Amino acid sequence: MKPINYKRKYFFPPEFRYIFLLFFLSLTFISYSQKTVKEVVQDGISKAKLGDFKEAIKSFELAISMDSTGAESYYNRGIVKSELKDYDAAINDFSKVIALRPTYPEPYYNRGLAENCKKTYMVAIVDYTKAINLKADFPAAYLNRGLSKFDLKDYKEAIMDFSRALQYQPDNAAAYYNRGLSYFSLNDYSASITDFDKAIKYDSASSAYYSGRGAAKAAAGNMEEAIVDFDAAIRLNPLDINNCLNKGLAHLYLKNYKASLQDYSKAIEIDSTNPEGYVNRGVSRQYLDDKPGACEDWKKAAELGSVKAKSYFDKYCSP
């Protein structure tokens, strides 16, 4: 059988997680009327923590109507607006808090988070930096500033921020993980694997950490160990299609075509609309001399929009 000349998909790390730490402020009140406002704010916080965001907003708006200078009311409404993904409204609320309490670092930090969610990364970095200037020991601000720099593909600067976060929180698994992704993006797989090792040390229940380490090991050419990590990731999160795709690709590299076929079949079970599973299951079938099965998979992948699958089908399956 003439082997297929195909370009293997590159091993990709899973999407990194944003550390969305939101602080509920509790400021000091003096007069009786302010105590009443405080009670309303606390009621809104209780509702927000229970996930009843709409009722929480009503409480915060009532508090604002009672005292329009109450920074805590705007602040916590901004947090809830962020949870509801109404980022413009959240940014507006945090800006009001900053005008009222310019020396508090948290409003800058949370405004940065909202800006980051809008993908206005440079603006987010400015806010994280302001928060850090007001509070040097703010590891979450370093971590999220690093994530914004990561999104801007400034991986070296991102690594510096993740390292700063780790100076304050040396057991922060997310900081190691995201620094590992940055090293991965710079093709420094050894440093990447070391950081993923540490992330797993401090949080062995995260499938993303095993998946990231597996991707780094595979990129470094260690397919057997990569498969072990992908298996661990699958056990922790059996519905993540990326782990099945990457495991299948590792098996393809090892020429274990029956195993890769099983991996891609599992990926298709998870998401039958993802063409990648069909494309590479077709490759596995072609290597196993199952041309009809390969052509069937490539036809399906082409119908799902895969240009690569169409080229395979035209080359190997057309009369």
| Fold classification of 32-102 (topology level) | 1.25.40
Closest Cα to residue 27, out of 53, 52, 45?
Answer: 45
What is the reported pLDDT for 297? 95
- CA 77 from chain centre, in angstroms, equals 25
The DSSP secondary structure of 11-33, one letter per residue, reads P-PPPPPP----PPP-----SHH
CB 264 within 8 A of CB 287: no
Q: What is the mean pLDDT of residues 67-75?
A: 90
Q: Report whether CATH 1.25.40.10 matches the domain 244-319.
A: yes
What is the reported pLDDT for 29? 36
What is the C-alpha separation between 275 and 304, in angstroms, rounded? 6
Non-local (6+) Cβ contacts of 129 within 8 A are 145
What is the reported pLDDT for 35? 57
Condensed to tens digits (0 to 9), the pLDDT of residues 198-222 reads 999 999 999 999 999 999 999 999 9
| pTM: predicted TM-score of the whole model, two decimal places | 0.86
Condensed to tens digits (0 to 9), the pLDDT of residues 143-194 reads 999 999 999 999 999 999 999 999 999 999 999 999 999 999 999 999 999 9
The CA distances from residue 211 to 13, 172, 197, in Å, are 7, 18, 11
Condensed to tens digits (0 to 9), the pLDDT of residues 28-58 reads 333 334 458 888 888 888 888 888 999 999 9
Instruction: Indicate where the chain has its CATH 1.25.40.10 domain(s).
Output: 32-102, 244-319
What is the C-alpha separation between 41 and 33, in angstroms, rounded? 13
Which is it for the CA torsion 191, 193, 194, 198, positive or negative?
Answer: positive
Radius of gyration of the chain (CA): 25
Condensed to tens digits (0 to 9), the pLDDT of residues 93-138 reads 999 999 999 999 999 999 999 999 999 999 999 999 999 999 999 9
Condensed to tens digits (0 to 9), the pLDDT of residues 19-35 reads 333 444 444 333 334 45
